[in-house]
Structure 1
Amino acid sequence: MNRVFSFFICIVFICVSLVLSDVYGQQEPSRLAPPASDTLGERLYRDGLLPSGKPLIGYIKGDLPAPGNSFTCISCHMRSGLGSVEGSVLTTPTNGRSLYAPRSNPPTLRPGMSAMGVADKGPPSPQPPPARPAYTDESLAAALRGGVDPSGRVWDPVMPRYKLQDDDMAILISYLKSLSSEFSPGVDAATLRFATVITDDLTPDRYQEHLNLLDNFIRRTNERTNHIENEVRNPRVKRQLMVSGRVAYRKLSLSRWMLKGAPETWRSQLEEYYRKEPVFALIGGVSGTAWKPVHDFCESNHLPCLFPQTDFPVISETDWYTLYPSKGYYQEGETAARFLNRCDDFPDSGKILMITRESREGIMLNDGFRDTWRAFGRAEPFTVRIAEKEFLSPERLALLVKTEKPDAVVIWDNTALPEAINSLTAPGIEPPNKIIVSSGFLDLKFMELNDNIRDITYITYPERLPMDEKLLEAYFFGAKPQGLKIGDGISKSAKQTYPLIKVLERALREMKENFYRDYLLDIISMGKDLDVPLYERMSFGPGQRYASKGCYIVQLGKGSRPELVKKSNWVIH
């Protein structure tokens, strides 16, 4: 009985998928305006800027003006133009393939049944929009100006109406026709291709478990596809199951792009891999050095890169194609500045002595603190830079503290700590009110701090606390996670791979047959927060490219086996 009911649900789901396919449309519109206008159309759509450079003005709820650069098309219709879902609100696609195709009415279901074929539970699902004829250039221009579709239905009053001149309207319509008009590279009728990047500065034990988990995910996904091919006898039902994307995907493949030598040579290696085998997206990947060459390659080729494992992400407010687990070391520096800014006992004119090791880690920690501190309008810290092979002795640190008399000392170093910090309790030295260090840079060395310095030493900690994380391992992974070899515990690499697989599973399920790279990222941006083993929370949103946005400030408890004591929330506002 259960198998029959499950199959019935699948059939209902297929019917709904067919209707939604009609809603979105598949007809290829003709292009009337020259492709040269697409750059100007992109500015109109993404930035709300006219070809003249002035803001596009839209009118909402009748006559309320809304500058286009604060109410852009992508805010609701997303970068791909395939629309969005937020709660019970559905924003329809605005790409040419959808607009220039007629839209059918949704099916009528029996009362008490949802689109999944079962009784409704929880919040209501978005209601599909009603039928309408296909747009033409003329009817689309009229709708954008007046807010009435070809069937005579009036648009929602929050959808802006745009009083565009004919030339500007032609540019915008031409761009809408180009949006998500052809599948992205890396997909064909049978296979969706991915790759993962590994750099040769790592030993195999640093990346092999990550690769095992990715291979296991690809294998399990393809087994589900094979099961449907073998079990479903009705050719029409099988075809719809295979192309709907809601029940199964195309077969997946995963290539390994191994990068060798200096980072300056990686770009040419990536280009050669991509020339031989274009892929739909990069997933995961591990590097012990800067990720910037891979990041820049992905930006240039409009290639999504999901959750690479690196402590050195590119920090950018505008780049689009790489989604990082966090900001890495930069995030720890950022958190230290936020914490210090909120401390009631740190004076507005308080002096900071910041000691920075001239290494990748030290510079990113320094930059995160400095950029955030400046944004608060605070005075620049007094910064002492330590050359990469230079030693920060206890005597030097003590002399700096005696000379500068800072209210707080921020130390981004890992060579002489904790010995140097412990020396600040020596007779004749007046320690600062606060000392801040990085757990990521120090690893476990901070556990060696003397009891009499722990009360003034604060530690950035960008992960779940160990006692919390251990309790959750079985919950997240089960007693024997697939693809893992369990020894003393579950590795950090495995914990970083877990959210990647969860996000990818959901995105592939929601993509249906819309194989557009921007849509993949749009879907992820609409996802719910993830509760994961390594971080307290990972959250997503349009244009957000760092999923874990938090970091604790902790102190050491007393004794030889101290616990970490939280001194802040996960996110410090």
Structure 2
Amino acid sequence: MRRRVLPVLPALLALLAMPALAAPAPEAAALGEQLYREGRRADGAPLQALREHGLTVSGRDAACIQCHRASGMGGAEGSSRVPPIVGARLDAPGQAGPGTRARVAPGLQRQPPGGEQRPAYDREHLARALTAGIDAGGRAMDALMPRYRLDAAEVAALDAYLHTLTVGAAPGFDGRVLHLATIVGADTAPEVQEAGAGVLAACLAERSPRAGAEAEAGTGAPPWVLHRWTLGADPARWSAELQALQQAQPVLALISGLTGPDGRGAWQPVQQHCEHEGLPCLLPQGPSIDDRQPLRWTLAFNRGVSLEASGLAQALGEPDEDGRAPPRRLHQIVQSRDEASRLGAARLAERLAAAGAPVHVEPPIDLDTPGLGAAAAMAALRTATPDEAWVLWLDGAALARLAALDAPAPQARVVLSGERLAGRFEAVPPAWRANVRLTWLWDRPGRTRARLALNAGRWLLSHERAPAADPALLQIQAHAYSACELAASALRRMGREVGRAHFMERIEEAEEAATATALPRFTLGTNRREASSMLWRLRFEPGRDEPVPDGEPLSPP
């Protein structure tokens, strides 16, 4: 079957010889970025292109970023390799990327792909590739490559933008060593720091390439070093502290991270810093990922209390497991001094409003109000009616303080945040258990410890680090180990073509088998920024210490 060559090509090639048509570089690069990332032309009209069999694609579906990625370093679509198109690579003859040499049976010779044999691209070659699907060596390109309808100024704009994409020079890479960082809080307990930052540092040091002939020759992945950044007790100052730390020692990425005494403290100022600075922030351990903000540079195990809020908004709009109609009023009890507690309550109210749920959300009751919080909350719980729902965003200590006063009314519908309880189910008093439900973001209770001990325990024991007896500490150990394996794999595959966007793209290619987490499944993909979006609802059964699933898991948006 003959490939269709767009009729604009001869005229376009002639126009490209006229330098007067080239837009000034800044304006051209801005238009090129718009075409590349959004598939949108200067007048706002969608970019048009033809695929095989005459299929037309347009707009975002035709945008270069869909296959060549934000970094311009490409990757793969199915079994087809998508080549890099950053300016420096286009300006040089084709070459094999690191790790792309396939094994060949004895006696056979591998024929390199056309992209590895081509000469360098000039503007005319680029125009021909974009509009007719012919590469710089005169060969037909893969059918995956669209044939675009572009004028000369647009080709020049794309060319200008591709030359703004660079790899090999990025913050945190000095040409010899690649610098990474992890975060701990000044108030984080020493045993928690050791479980998280200590495990991470030992694992990354072990996985780092060794300085040697490859590093000296500028081939292979560079060695890396991990810095421990300690943030003060006041989250309001973290933005300035992070700026100062980054200025003193630039890093490519933040790996893992713990704040607060138990490692589950505030995180939103760090998340905001990462997104604002374009700094990859990989698998922090905290529960308060704010999904109201775009997540481009933050990759989380899950969204924590934001995911719980989404699941609760979905569940509260339906009859419950006992067949009772959805509640007409929602009460929430929070700890205002706790970031995750505040975020969960705010997110649930927003989700219910966005869904148009016919439930009136009362102002939250603050357990941190001096003298009145716990007493007011228990007085209301004692008189709760069947048409009300209560969601308690409380940690184990706060729940114990409330439970010491009394128990809710027998008909009360009470939901506890399993994420705030951090798996400490013993904090739920027996007198509460009949009418309490919990949200849960991890593997089924009873299986989580076995999963972590199996997947991370072997590495811990082989490095003279006993798996922690405390389930919360064991999860921190295992998740630090997982963050190490994920980061090390991506860094090695990235090689010396260092870039922050390129690093995130290699992270997205991670496989579930490479992780040792409390999640039942670890799934990533293009632009996916949470490894799991699954949520269980749990209930207590008589005679059992741990709750059991109450129905099938939810996967809320």
Pairing partner for 2:39 from 40, 44, 48:
48
Q: TM-score, normalised by structure 2?
A: 0.81
For residue 115 of structure 1, give the secondary structure of its aligned residue in structure 2. coil
Pairing partner for 1:314 from 290, 298, 304:
290
Aligned equivalent of 2:250: 278
CA contact (8 A) 1:82 1:519 kept: yes
Aligned ranges 1:129-140 → 2 under 5 Å: 129=115, 131-140=117-126
Q: TM-score, normalised by structure 1?
A: 0.79
1:501 aligns with 2:484: yes
Structure 1 pair 493–435 and aligned structure 2 pair: CA distance change class (3 A): same
Aligned equivalent of 2:158: 172
- Select between 332-341 and 537-546 the one with higher mean Cα deviation: 332-341
- CA offset at residue 130 of structure 1? 5.9
CA distance in 1, matches of 2:147, 2:131: 5
CA contact (8 A) 2:222 2:495 kept: no
Cα displacement string for residues 219-242 of structure 1 (whole angstroms, at most 9, x for unaligned residues):
3134x626xx4xxxxxxxx43897
CA distance in 2, matches of 1:550, 1:154: 44
Pairing partner for 2:378 from 394, 406, 410:
394
* Residue type of the alignment partner of 1:406: D
1:159 aligns with 2:145: yes
1:225 aligns with 2:210: yes
* Residue type of the alignment partner of 1:217: C
- CA offset at residue 468 of structure 1? 0.8
1:90 aligns with 2:81: yes
Cα displacement string for residues 313-363 of structure 1 (whole angstroms, at most 9, x for unaligned residues):
232463422222221221222222334446576678652423242522332
Cα displacement string for residues 180-208 of structure 1 (whole angstroms, at most 9, x for unaligned residues):
25521211332111122222232323223
For residue 410 of structure 1, give the secondary structure of its aligned residue in structure 2. strand
Pairing partner for 1:367 from 339, 343, 346:
346
CA distance in 2, matches of 1:296, 1:105: 37
- CA offset at residue 570 of structure 1? 4.6
- Select between 540-549 and 527-536 the one with higher mean Cα deviation: 527-536
* Residue type of the alignment partner of 1:551: L
CA distance in 1, matches of 2:550, 2:499: 44
1:253 aligns with 2:222: no
Aligned equivalent of 1:546: 530
CA distance in 1, matches of 2:296, 2:83: 22
- CA offset at residue 521 of structure 1? 0.3
Q: How many residues align?
A: 507
For residue 163 of structure 2, give the secondary structure of its aligned residue in structure 1. helix
- CA offset at residue 54 of structure 1? 3.2
1:379 aligns with 2:358: yes
For residue 287 of structure 2, give the secondary structure of its aligned residue in structure 1. coil
CA contact (8 A) 1:207 1:493 kept: no
Aligned equivalent of 1:20: none
* Residue type of the alignment partner of 1:424: A
1:461 aligns with 2:437: no
Aligned ranges 1:105-120 → 2 under 5 Å: 115-116=102-103
CA distance in 1, matches of 2:142, 2:324: 51
1:357 aligns with 2:334: yes
CA contact (8 A) 1:463 1:536 kept: yes
CA contact (8 A) 1:495 1:533 kept: yes
Aligned equivalent of 2:417: 438
CA contact (8 A) 2:331 2:390 kept: yes
CA contact (8 A) 2:288 2:303 kept: yes
- CA offset at residue 540 of structure 1? 1.2
Aligned equivalent of 1:410: 391
Cα displacement string for residues 244-280 of structure 1 (whole angstroms, at most 9, x for unaligned residues):
43xxx32221222222252232222222222222122
Structure 1 pair 411–219 and aligned structure 2 pair: CA distance change class (3 A): closer
Structure 1 pair 316–99 and aligned structure 2 pair: CA distance change class (3 A): farther
CA contact (8 A) 2:318 2:325 kept: no
CA contact (8 A) 2:232 2:238 kept: yes
- Select between 60-69 and 250-259 the one with higher mean Cα deviation: 60-69
Cα displacement string for residues 346-386 of structure 1 (whole angstroms, at most 9, x for unaligned residues):
67865242324252233222234334444544234432411
For residue 278 of structure 1, give the secondary structure of its aligned residue in structure 2. coil
CA distance in 2, matches of 1:214, 1:200: 18
CA contact (8 A) 2:331 2:388 kept: no
Aligned equivalent of 1:268: 240
Cα displacement string for residues 369-419 of structure 1 (whole angstroms, at most 9, x for unaligned residues):
3344445442344324113322244332233x23xx516443334445556
Cα displacement string for residues 33-54 of structure 1 (whole angstroms, at most 9, x for unaligned residues):
5135433322221222223333
- CA offset at residue 488 of structure 1? 2.5
* Residue type of the alignment partner of 1:357: V
CA contact (8 A) 2:287 2:305 kept: yes
Unaligned stretches of 5+ residues in structure 1? 1-30, 120-125, 230-237, 426-430
Structure 1 pair 41–217 and aligned structure 2 pair: CA distance change class (3 A): same
CA distance in 1, matches of 2:268, 2:427: 34
CA distance in 2, matches of 1:441, 1:94: 46
- CA offset at residue 444 of structure 1? 6.0
- CA offset at residue 99 of structure 1? 2.2
CA distance in 2, matches of 1:87, 1:60: 16
Aligned equivalent of 2:214: 239
For residue 279 of structure 1, give the secondary structure of its aligned residue in structure 2. coil
CA distance in 2, matches of 1:200, 1:410: 31
Aligned equivalent of 2:11: none
Aligned equivalent of 2:52: 61
For residue 31 of structure 2, give the secondary structure of its aligned residue in structure 1. helix
Pairing partner for 1:35 from 9, 18, 26:
26
CA contact (8 A) 2:169 2:175 kept: no
RMSD between superposed Cα atoms in Å:
3.3
Pairing partner for 1:491 from 474, 499, 522:
474
Cα displacement string for residues 141-180 of structure 1 (whole angstroms, at most 9, x for unaligned residues):
2321222223333333443222223323222211112112
* Residue type of the alignment partner of 2:210: T
Identical counterparts, % of pairs: 26
Aligned equivalent of 2:10: none
Aligned equivalent of 1:304: 280
Structure 1 pair 242–101 and aligned structure 2 pair: CA distance change class (3 A): closer
CA contact (8 A) 1:192 1:253 kept: yes
Structure 1 pair 253–353 and aligned structure 2 pair: CA distance change class (3 A): same
Unaligned stretches of 5+ residues in structure 2? 1-21, 107-111
Structure 1 pair 483–198 and aligned structure 2 pair: CA distance change class (3 A): farther
* Residue type of the alignment partner of 1:219: A
CA contact (8 A) 2:327 2:359 kept: no
1:567 aligns with 2:537: no
Cα displacement string for residues 49-96 of structure 1 (whole angstroms, at most 9, x for unaligned residues):
223333323332364332222443222111111111244232122212
CA distance in 2, matches of 1:178, 1:281: 21
